[in-house]
Chains A and B, each alone.
Chain A
Amino acid sequence: MFLEIKDLSVKIENKNILNGLNLNINKGEVHAIMGPNGCGKSTLANVLAGKEDYEILDGKINFKDNDLFDLNIEERAQEGMFLAFQYPVEIPGVNITPFLHSAINSKRKRMNEEEIDNLSFAKLLKSKASDLGINIDMLKRSVNTGFSGGEKKRYEILQMSILNPDLAILDETDSGLDIDALKIVTEGVNKLKTKNNSFLIITHYQKLLDYIKPDHVHVMVNGSIVKSGGPEIAAEIEKDGFQKFQ
């Protein structure tokens, strides 16, 4: 199993958010989690990425034969986990290009691969940015600083395509995107899909799943998965809402 989440219970500030959540993802699969506001979707994404604000009450997570809780935030990233943030953080003064260069090399170092030099990285970045319709001038700016909502999401996908993760978690990547930006972003995701990597897509709406076809769709309510199935569940939610699952 690529990612195995077993009986995961999590709380923050005395409030239980995840309650005995189970989820298995195999290599090459695309999973979607849908659920109403406040059901714990983003908490799951943050816990997987290693955010330290949460208290793990119970459960286990295995990722690529590692106990995920033995890995800190950066080790998870270096092992191939990537979180595309719902609200990417603005970091004035940190330039995009050297930041991404340093990020890719930290991963390569852990994998005992040769570090990528400046010139090769510049070429790679330029080509990936062009695929996503990102203006080269944007790469001279600080991380997410002064970006529009759509630019931030596009930049998340650019980072994903550069870091080429084994498991990408997309936390409401569709929020704040107009239809054209949604197409560009989802095309970027589809280009990255191979039989060796997996995706966990968190969304409220079926629209995103029209562009990225999931193998499995899960409904999450009150911190646990209450129903799993194929893409037909997304259509069911679009039609009837989440009410009947609560």
Chain B
Amino acid sequence: MNIQDNYLKNRKNIFFSQNKDIQNHREKLINNFVNDRFDRKNNESLKNINLKNFIDFKYKYLISEETSVINNNQENSYSIVSVNGQCSNFKDDKIEITKILDEDYNDFSENNTIEKNDHFVNLNSLFLNSGFKIIIKNNNNIKIKISNIVTDDDLTIFQKNNIICQEGSSLNLIEEYENKNNSTSNILNVIKLEKNSQLNHFLIQDNSSNHNLIITSHSSCKKDSTYTQKVYNFSEGYVRNFHYSELIETNSEADLQGIFFLKDNNTSNNKTFVKHLAEDCKSNQVYKGILNDRSKATYFSNTHVDQVAQKTEGYQLSKGILLSDNASYFSKPELKIYADDVKCSHGSTIGPIDENAIFYLRSRGMSKIAATKILISSFINEELSSIDNQQMSEIIQKKLIRYLSKVK
């Protein structure tokens, strides 16, 4: 079914279909798809992707009643089970969770940093069927764990979330994606950090080979706020992680880290984009990938320093290990600097595992496979040892051991 018919047929189930402005916006998006007005060659959202598979889909969505929010007051922690992109409403003196509303849609559609020709974001806007908004109230220090569950085969989840950390608040957010069914989750997160707030955002992705996960997120940081994102992708299915970050007021910071572990025919596309729009801000983008068999990955990293953003510090690094001659990793770091008093760097290193290091370890009695595994672990040692959450660290270690057990 073509995209227009698909949309018209399912419109009654799609969020905000009655809103005229939103409808107009969606019609424009449909026209773009129908007229195919996209530059495929230079479109970063299309690398290694057969777009047809994602455009000619059968729309299916189910509302589940099994969502829950459990509050553990003693530890200021909350466990959320989000089912098919939905979450229960919840409110106390520290946090508030609600369904997204028409007015939140503009946060997404009018966002100028997220690329307008990103097909997945446009599909998300067209077929939006789920999502929630979390507000961390002023000066609260909160931990939240969200288990993102998809209940059935063939579901197409189009979800938008809004996370707001109010002034002086701190949020430690762990999101788990561990789905084993044949479905697609297309998620857009818009994150706002008010003055002097902090968000440590961990994403653990471990889906089966028939589950597609597309995450696009956008964070904006006001004065003295810090957004940290750490993504650990162990999925056997397609995963896309795109993150856009805007440092809009002084002394704010974005720290974006990602590690992906690929094997078989799997593909992962990654992008980080940081816009420095104020003085004295810092950013750090580090992505590392380990690719086996015939797996493929891309990583685009961009740092844009506006002319007002003096005293910027912006660092980018991408590294990859190719465990097979048939694996490939395309990395493109970009710096655009319009201010003159900045410290910025970028670098990218991709190659097979260091044969001299393997020889050295084997010459001490270690088997080739043990030497390979120890070198893979050492490659990401810095990132893993920086995880200060014991539970998280154990989860990642277990998944790493599972990945290494398949390395021959």
Residues of A within 8 A of B (CB): 49-52, 72-74, 76-78, 82-83, 85, 88-89, 91-94, 99-100, 102-104, 106-107, 110, 142-143, 159, 163
Q: Number of contacting residues on B, CB 8 A?
A: 22
Do A73 and B378 have beta carbons less than 8 Å apart?
A: no
| Given A89-B359, A93-B377, A94-B375, 7 further pairs, Cβ under 8 A | A52-B359, A73-B362, A85-B360, A89-B360, A91-B361, A94-B361, A99-B364
A83 touches B366 (CB 8 A): no
Task: For residue B352, give the distance in angstroms from its CB to the closest CB of chain A.
Answer: 14
Known: A74-B368, A102-B370. A92 touches B378 (CB 8 A): yes
Q: Is B390 an interface residue (CB 8 A)?
A: no
Nearest-neighbour CB distance to chain B for A77, whole angstroms, equals: 4
Q: A198 → chain B, closest Cβ, in Å?
A: 17
Contact residues in A for B356 (Cβ distance below 8 Å):
89
Asked if B361 and A99 sit within 8 Å, CB to CB, the answer is yes
Contact with A along B326-370 (1 / 0, CB 8 A): 000000000000000000000000000010110111111111101
A17 shortest CB reach to chain B, Å: 17
Residue pair B363, A50 in contact (C-beta under 8 Å): yes
How many interface contacts (CB-CB < 8 Å) are there between A and B? 72
Given contacts A93-B381, A93-B382, contact A102 B366 (CB under 8 A): yes
User: By CB atoms of chain A within 10 A, which of B362, B377, B380 has the most?
Assistant: B362
Asked if B379 is at the interface of the complex by the 8 Å CB criterion, the answer is: yes
- Among A77, A104, A110, point to the contact of B362 (Cβ < 8 A): A77
CA distance A103 to B382 in the complex (A): 23
Is the C-beta of B174 less than 8 angstroms from some C-beta in chain A? no
B interface list, Cβ under 8 A from A: 354, 356-357, 359-368, 370, 374-375, 377-382
Q: Are B366 and A106 in contact (CB under 8 A)?
A: yes
Flag if A88 contacts B360 (CB, 8 Å).
yes
Q: Smallest Cβ distance from A185 to chain B, in angstroms?
A: 18
Cα of A100 to Cα of B363 in the assembled complex, Å: 12
Our pick among A94, A100, A110 for the contact of B378 (Cβ within 8 Å) is A94
Task: Give the shortest distance, in Å, between B239 (CB) and chain A (any CB).
Answer: 25
**Nearest chain B residue, comparing its CB with the CB of A84:** B363
Contact between chains at B360 and A51 (CB < 8 Å): no
Complex contacts, A159 vs chain B, CB 8 Å: 364
Q: Once the chains are docked, how many angstroms separate the CA of A94 from the CA of B379? A: 9
Once A91-B378, A93-B379, A102-B370 are accepted as A-B contacts, the answer to whether A74 and B365 lie under 8 Å apart by CB is: yes
Please name the 9 residue pairs, one residue from A and one from B, whose CB atoms are nearest each other, closest first. Answer: A93-B378, A93-B381, A73-B362, A106-B365, A77-B365, A103-B364, A89-B360, A94-B378, A74-B362
